[in-house]
Amino acid sequence: MIQQVKSKWEEEDDSRRSKIGILVDILRLIQKKGGVAKPTHILYGANLSHVRLNKYMDVLMEKQFVETVNAGGRGVYKITDKGMEFVREFRKVEQFSEAFGVPI
Amino acid sequence: MAIEGFLLPVRFYGYDSVIYLVSALIGLAIAYKAYRLYSVSEKNQHYNLFVGFSILAVGLLTISLTSAYSYIKFFEQKELLLFNGYFDVADVGYWIYFGASFLAYWFLINMYAPDKKGVFLLSLPMTFNYYSYLNVGLFFFALYLAFRSAVSYFSNKNQNGFWVMGAFVLMAVYHAVLLFTPFFKGFYILAHVFLILSFAFLLYMLIRVNRE
């Protein structure tokens, strides 16, 4: 039951937050953590289920916006230069959109 | 007819063409940025912003070229360059420009009011007084855009939003001042100062967005 409610909530949450918005949120989260973040930190910070987070991380890896690196024997996510450039570009487009009062 | 000297002082001939051209180029830059925004968000509202400014830029480019061509021919031949024996070439340019402006503003209005499809597209008769009729319509369209952008600016106090609001206000003022040109030719110049200022505001916003 709880899982059903959670899934429903997540569905609604995703419809409110665009997919691109979630991807950028994850990248910003990693940036805030100094460019490297543990999967659990991203999980809680991005407010996503484990399955859903993996899907988004796969997209980010595929686009080479993040990469996995080894830190103390554990795999962590590191934002790449390409990822940081994407966040910068997204911010410009976001500001342009907000200027017209029609946010992304 | 605009070119006959009824609406604009002879000394201003050509300057308005340049103002239209510069405005068109800024409009194209805004449209390009809006296209990039749409390709990221895939939102209909952003599509309307892109199409709106693209059409507005095409309209301004058309009036820029036709009026410049008309002025050149006027100074060469010392007579109006007639399109079909009655209207001059600049008139045809104005029709395209007004048509494009109506369509562009309609798209921009739909950007702010996506639920109300085709809210109030006015159909105004093409008469010899089309200049005044169409400017009244365009004034109200621009006024609506100014109002919506002002609501947006005052609700989130976004600095870039201030420049967009200013641009739409100036566009509305431009159309309003054009209405008074039959009474005093200087209003034609003043109106075009408002037009170029309006696009200068948009350009400044674009520069700010790209710099940050």
Q: What is the pLDDT of residues B123-136, one digit of tens each?
A: 444 444 566 777 88
Q: Which residue of B has its CA nearest to A17?
A: B41
Residue range B188-201: average pLDDT?
93
pLDDT for the residue numbered A47: 83
CB contact (8 A) between residue B33 and residue A96: yes
The amino acid occupying position A74 is R
pTM for this prediction: 0.79
The nearest CA of chain B is from the CA of A29 a distance in Å of 20
Using the Cα atoms of residue A66, residue A68, residue A70 and residue A73 in order, give the sign of their dihedral. Answer: positive
- Rounded to whole angstroms, how far apart are CA atoms A95 and A101? 10
> Taking a C-beta distance cutoff of 8 angstroms, is the pair B160, B132 a contact?
no
- Rounded to whole angstroms, how far apart are CA atoms A19 and B137? 40
Q: Which residue of A has its CA nearest to B154?
A: A101
- Rounded to whole angstroms, how far apart are CA atoms A65 and A85? 9
Query: What are the structure tokens assigned to B23, written together?
Result: 């405005």
Chain-centre distance of CA B112, in angstroms? 18
Mean pLDDT taken over chain B:
83
User: Is the CB of B210 inside 8 Å of chain A's CB atoms?
Assistant: yes
CB contact (8 A) between residue B37 and residue A96: yes
Q: Which residue of A has its CA nearest to B156?
A: A101
Judged on CB neighbours under 10 Å (0-12, 13-18, 19+), A15 is: exposed
ipTM over 0.85: no
Mean pLDDT taken over chain A:
83
